[in-house]
């Protein structure tokens, strides 16, 4: 890949208008692996103009043409899957195994889900004498994060392509390599010039220019709640649609009838996955107060087996966190947990034993946490689990809902109907019952400060569509 210092605009790799650059740091080694150009408002203006110019033509392509395009994209993506996985491990530290089996394939999965949805999606509906038409919203600004880079790139790009929109992408400047690869894939697949454009840069410069741009009709942002607020404020200037997928502090309720050995272990490992850098991670484990010591002992034994280390090593379970800034934030929160009286049953401050380089965090579990503690309130975004006690089922639901976030939730019970009833009381956009996995055909998104709108599958089409009522269309 030779386009690190270029942007993809109007079907070509072009030189940036400014001269600012940024090193891409491998978090496992703390060494620069590439240098990217950082864009400015002029770069954004060029990309938006290209997307605007391409919109009329692409919006009028047929369903069949867009189906064929998605099929070509998938074929090229499949061919370059190994490169994508390698780039993700280098830029954000995911273990090679995770990159190969989850991080990179998630991209292909979203293209496949969008393709399937496109084949059946109802873009028109008759209501009496009126025809209701769903049309592409226009030029879309896409801003994506670093934690599951290909997943979040494709769950925006795939529906935009499927619905007939054009777009400008700003990937995370911390992990931009997989996005540059995806631009090469889209180019090779024959995405028409101007339909997809990429400008690297930071949020305050490129992100702000996009979200305030009068010719961008919709912003789709995934990232922190604080940054999401800024995108929404900037977008308000032009009354554009803003779709946000933000942070989480998801509760994992283990009801008193579960197999604690099994479900505590499952909860610990789910929290540690991807070094805890998942917005929907089950970071608050809620257990009966009477079982707290038992649960803590189980969790201690499980977390002791979570090896942090070289992403390319076979026995590595989790790699580093993405950056020095992220490492420092996690250390501060671990320290806060200790100072506020939570019990450390595994891990703690500092790097894991034997590691003196790289942004590695000790896999950490706290027990005897109260929901008022900082570690129970703030999104840590690292391999840190808080175990919180509850008195009864109503208390568990109260604690689960006592948060500013509402992205995901987890409920486990040996009685499925009981788990179903509790799930309906949780104020979140998603709930997993008894360890059920995600489904990329079902909607992904949250309540409250976890965002608005939904991504994935046919639900992910809606934010990219405008609705038009044509009255008298069916008049006799």
The CATH number of the domain holding residue 412 is: 3.40.309.10
Mean pLDDT of the 315-328 span: 97
**Has residue 68 been placed in a domain?**
yes
- Sort strands 31-37 and 21-26 into parallel, antiparallel or unpaired: antiparallel
Asked which of 1-5, 36-40, 227-231 is least confident by mean pLDDT, the reply is 1-5
Residue 142 pLDDT more than 80?
yes
DSSP at 464: G
User: What is the pLDDT averaged over residues 231-245?
Assistant: 97
Q: Is the pLDDT of residue 476 over 90?
A: no
Secondary structure of 398-411 in the HEC alphabet? Answer: HHHHCCCEECCEEE
Average pLDDT over residues 112-117: 98
Q: Does the pLDDT at position 1 exceed 90? A: no
282 in the same domain as 229: no
The mean pLDDT of 118-129, rounded to a whole number, is 98
Instruction: Identify the CATH number of the domain in which residue 223 sits.
Output: 3.40.605.10
The pLDDT value given to residue 2: 67
pLDDT band at 3 (very low <50, low <70, confident <90, very high): confident
Residue with tokens 């060494």: 31
Long-range contacts of 55-62 (CB under 8 A, 24+ apart): 55/136, 55/138, 55/139, 55/165, 55/166, 57/192, 58/136, 58/164, 58/165, 58/166, 58/192, 58/194, 58/195, 59/135, 59/136, 59/164, 59/165, 59/166, 60/164, 61/164
pLDDT for 47-73, tens place per residue? Answer: 999 999 999 999 999 999 999 999 999
In a domain, 415, yes or no: yes
Q: Which two tokens stand for residue 298?
A: 């189980």
Please answer whether residues 232 and 258 qualify as being in contact, where contact means their C-beta atoms are separated by less than 8 angstroms: no
Please tell me the distance from the alpha carbon of residue 35 to that of residue 456, in angstroms, as a whole number.
32
Same structural domain, 262 and 396: yes
If asked whether residues 460 and 378 sit together in one domain, one would say no
CB 126 within 8 A of CB 472: no
Average pLDDT, the chain: 97
Residues 360-375, mean pLDDT to the nearest whole number = 98
> Which of the residues are catalytic?
245
Average pLDDT over residues 118-136: 98
| Co-location of 90 and 173 in the same domain | yes
Q: Give the tens place of pLDDT for each residue, 167-197.
A: 999 999 999 999 999 999 999 999 999 999 9
């Amino acid at each position: 890949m030779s386009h690190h210092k270029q942007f993809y605009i109007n079907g070509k790799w072009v030189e940036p208008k400014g001269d600012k650059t940024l090193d891409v740091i491998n978090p496992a080694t703390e060494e620069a692996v590439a240098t990217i150009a950082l864009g400015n408002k002029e770069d954004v203006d060029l990309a938006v103009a290209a997307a605007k110019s391409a919109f009329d033509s692409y919006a009028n392509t047929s369903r069949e043409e867009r189906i064929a395009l998605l099929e070509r994209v998938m074929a090229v993506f499949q061919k370059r899957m190994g490169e994508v996985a390698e780039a993700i491990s280098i830029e954000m530290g995911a273990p090679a195994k995770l990159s190969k089996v989850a991080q990179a394939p998630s991209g292909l999965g979203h293209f496949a889900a969008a393709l399937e949805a496109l084949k059946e999606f109802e873009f028109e509906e008759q209501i009496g004498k009126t025809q209701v038409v769903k049309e592409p919203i226009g030029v879309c600004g896409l801003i994506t994060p670093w934690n599951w880079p290909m997943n979040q790139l494709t769950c925006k790009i795939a529906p935009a392509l499927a619905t007939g929109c054009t777009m400008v992408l700003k990937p995370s400047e911390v992990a931009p390599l997989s996005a540059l690869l995806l631009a090469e894939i889209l180019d090779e697949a024959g995405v028409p010039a101007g339909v997809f454009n990429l400008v690297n840069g930071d949020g305050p410069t490129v992100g702000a220019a996009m979200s305030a741009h009068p010719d961008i009709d919709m912003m789709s942002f995934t990232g922190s709640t604080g940054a999401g607020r800024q995108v929404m404020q900037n977008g308000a200037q032009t009354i554009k649609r803003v779709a946000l997928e933000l942070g989480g502090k998801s509760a994992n309720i283990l009801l008193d009838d579960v197999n604690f050995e099994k479900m505590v272990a499952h909860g610990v490992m789910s929290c540690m996955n991807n070094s805890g850098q998942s917005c929907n991670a089950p970071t608050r484990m809620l257990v009966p107060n009477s079982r707290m010591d038992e649960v803590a002992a189980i969790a201690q034994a499980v977390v002791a087996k979570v090896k942090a280390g070289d992403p390319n090593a076979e026995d590595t379970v989790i790699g580093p966190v993405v950056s020095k800034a992220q490492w420092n934030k996690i250390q501060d929160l671990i320290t806060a947990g200790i100072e506020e009286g939570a019990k450390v049953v595994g891990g703690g401050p500092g790097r894991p034993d034997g590691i003196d380089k790289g942004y590695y965090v000790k896999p950490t579990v706290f027990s005897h946490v109260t929901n008022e503690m900082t570690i129970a309130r703030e999104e840590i975004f690292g391999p840190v689990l808080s175990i919180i006690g509850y008195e009864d089922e109503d208390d568990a639901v109260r604690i689960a809902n006592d948060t500013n976030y509402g992205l995901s939730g987890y409920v486990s019970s040996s009685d499925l109907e009981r788990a179903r009833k509790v799930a309906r009381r949780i104020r979140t956009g998603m709930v997993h019952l008894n360890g059920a996995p995600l489904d990329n055909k079902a909607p992904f998104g949250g309540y409250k400060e976890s965002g608005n709108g939904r991504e994935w599958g046919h639900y992910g089409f809606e934010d990219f569509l405008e609705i038009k009522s044509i009255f008298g269309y069916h008049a006799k």
